[in-house]
Structure 1
Amino acid sequence: MSISNKTQAAMLAAMPASMRAAVAGYDWARDSVGESDAAVYRLQGRDGAPDLFLKHGTGAAAAELADELARLRWLAQYLPVPAVAQFARAASPEQAWLLTAAMPGNTACQVLEDNPALGSAVADALAVFLRRLHALPVSDCPFDASHAARLVQARRRIDAGFVDAGDFDAEREGWTAQQVWLALQGYLPLPPDLVVTHGDFSLENILMHDGAVVGCLDVGRAGVADRYQDLAIVWRALGELDAALPPRFVQHYGIVDIDQGKLQFHLLLDELF
């Protein structure tokens, strides 16, 4: 979706000069895929220059972009993630800009939309990549994404009125955020099985090419957490396409008996973000 010249001019005027120079000459298109609080733009069409992605956030979204920057830099040691071109932050009004290189490939979601028959192959490729991610050294990861930390964040979001109850999964249609919160408490305490997680391992955030995963996007929630943080998100996404895909995925990942309690806890938790 193209943006107006007025919108683009306003964005450029607010940017630091170095970033204005970096995005000069590009055509901008708003990217509406995903649920980020930041505005996302694909920049393309500058002669001889690669495509870029620009994220712009204000307030809490600006802080989230700073979080994503830190995680991109750490994960780049181990996994294919977007290369950071520039980052800038302003204090008044609080806002941030994150500029990254576009990566090759199509999202897993796009692959399956184009050819639903590839469901099993995509599920297997996702399992292989997730095992690779979950094998990263927990002791070296500086980011806490545990359910205890996320519950604190979730409570703040509920109290601030940031939770969109209209976007809840079908089985929780009509629920309030407080009802989700109370349901979560029924699964605690939850003994963790800690790994380095993506945090939002959805089909929209995984890039594929020639049947293999070649990159992951939107890593602002990455950190040390229970492996079910990632398993639950992809379990739900695959199940919406074909009920046979989630069991195939977890078997290929290496789990014989899925923990339904942990699945449900992390799906409930995801509703609050």
Structure 2
Amino acid sequence: MSDIREITAEFPDLPEPMQQQAPGRIAKRNVVGMSGGTVYRLCDTAGKPDLYLKQGGGSVATDITDEMVRLNWLEQYISVPQVIAFTAQSDQAWLLMSALTGRTAYQRLTEEPEARPQIVDALAGFLRQIHTIPAQSCPFNSDHHLRLARAHQRLQAGLVDTDDFGTLYEGQTAQQVWDDITALLPLETKTVVTHGDFSLDNILMDGNTVTGCIDTGRVGLADPYQDLAILWDCLGEFSPALQDRLFPAYGITAPDQKKLRFHLGLDEFF
């Protein structure tokens, strides 16, 4: 993964109501994640807190709308960016948010090798906090049945990026991955509130303390391994020892290898 997280960019065109929310700022465009959309950090030259802007059209506009709705719901339970303004016009959407303090977990793991075990413990603790949000209060569904249906649609439409497959499925076709994960069905599942994309770039930290999470458009009810698999896979970039530490730190003594493999494969379709 590149160490370059953002580049200076031309200030984005904003809808009229939103222009009043971000005067006198310069734009830095994020180059990590958010495929199909654009993410900007809007920096104030007078020293006011940064803002973040997401914008996009078509299906990305729908994703941005989903994130706005989930942010407004999540803020009562965990630390997430505050929605400053949201505008949707035609097939375009703009979401302006406050910035969380700290650096990404990926940056922290890169910068402080000696603190990596403590960072993993903090990530596991924050994930448990998400998973203990009362499931009955969550109005969003993200379970594997829904994600499988969407994955199959992407498979049929030829939208799966096989060049981006992780180590487990590197060199395979999308159909081979599909065959692999569907052979693992049915699954015994547990239902909790999940983040949906609990990767190292979506978690902010101040030192070894998690300050919150971003990119919440996939938040919804699903099995805990939806999040655990993604985080476990990300930690593999640093060391197998960190992967081994994750599950005990979370509270699992014997990881379910079947569910881990299933969710790793399912995530390759998105």
| Cα distance in 2, alignment partners of residues 119 and 261 from structure 1 | 27
In structure 2, the residue matched to 1:223 is 220
> Which of 178, 182, 186 is the matching residue for 1:181?
178
| Cα distance in 1, alignment partners of residues 228 and 44 from structure 2 | 37
Deviation at 1:247, TM superposition (A): 2.0
In structure 2, the residue matched to 1:74 is 73
Q: 1:96 aligned to 2:93?
A: yes
| Cα distance in 2, alignment partners of residues 218 and 102 from structure 1 | 12
In structure 2, the residue matched to 1:126 is 123
| Cα distance in 2, alignment partners of residues 241 and 219 from structure 1 | 24
In structure 2, the residue matched to 1:117 is 114
In structure 1, the residue matched to 2:245 is 248
Give ranges in structure 1 of 5+ residues lacking alignment.
none
Q: 1:200 aligned to 2:197?
A: yes
Q: 1:259 aligned to 2:256?
A: yes
Structure 1 residue identity aligned to 2:263: H
Q: Which moved more, 1:172-181 or 1:260-269?
A: 172-181
Given the two structures, how large is their TM-score scaled by the length of structure 1?
0.93
The count of residues paired between Structure 1 and Structure 2 equals: 264
In structure 2, the residue matched to 1:3 is 9
Give deviations 1:46-70, integer Å, cap 9, x for gaps.
4253210000111000000010011
Give deviations 1:78-98, integer Å, cap 9, x for gaps.
00000000000011xx11001
| Cα distance in 1, alignment partners of residues 175 and 246 from structure 2 | 32
Structure 2 residue identity aligned to 1:179: Q
| Cα distance in 1, alignment partners of residues 216 and 257 from structure 2 | 25
Give deviations 1:226-252, integer Å, cap 9, x for gaps.
000011011111122111112211101
Structure 1 residue identity aligned to 2:262: F
Q: In the alignment, is the contact (CA less than 8 A) between 2:169 and 2:265 conserved in 1?
A: no
Give deviations 1:93-115, integer Å, cap 9, x for gaps.
x1100100111011110111111
Structure 1 residue identity aligned to 2:8: S
RMSD: 1.2
Deviation at 1:156, TM superposition (A): 1.6
The SS at the match of 2:163 is helix
Deviation at 1:37, TM superposition (A): 2.9
Deviation at 1:35, TM superposition (A): 4.0
| Cα distance in 1, alignment partners of residues 212 and 135 from structure 2 | 20
The SS at the match of 1:269 is helix
| Cα distance in 1, alignment partners of residues 249 and 110 from structure 2 | 22
More helix by share: 1
The SS at the match of 2:76 is coil
Structure 1 residue identity aligned to 2:83: V
Ranges of 4+ aligned residues in structure 1 off by more than 4 Å: none
| Cα distance in 1, alignment partners of residues 18 and 156 from structure 2 | 36
The SS at the match of 2:240 is coil
The SS at the match of 1:221 is coil
| Cα distance in 1, alignment partners of residues 188 and 208 from structure 2 | 35
The SS at the match of 1:171 is helix
Deviation at 1:36, TM superposition (A): 3.7
Q: 1:143 aligned to 2:140?
A: yes
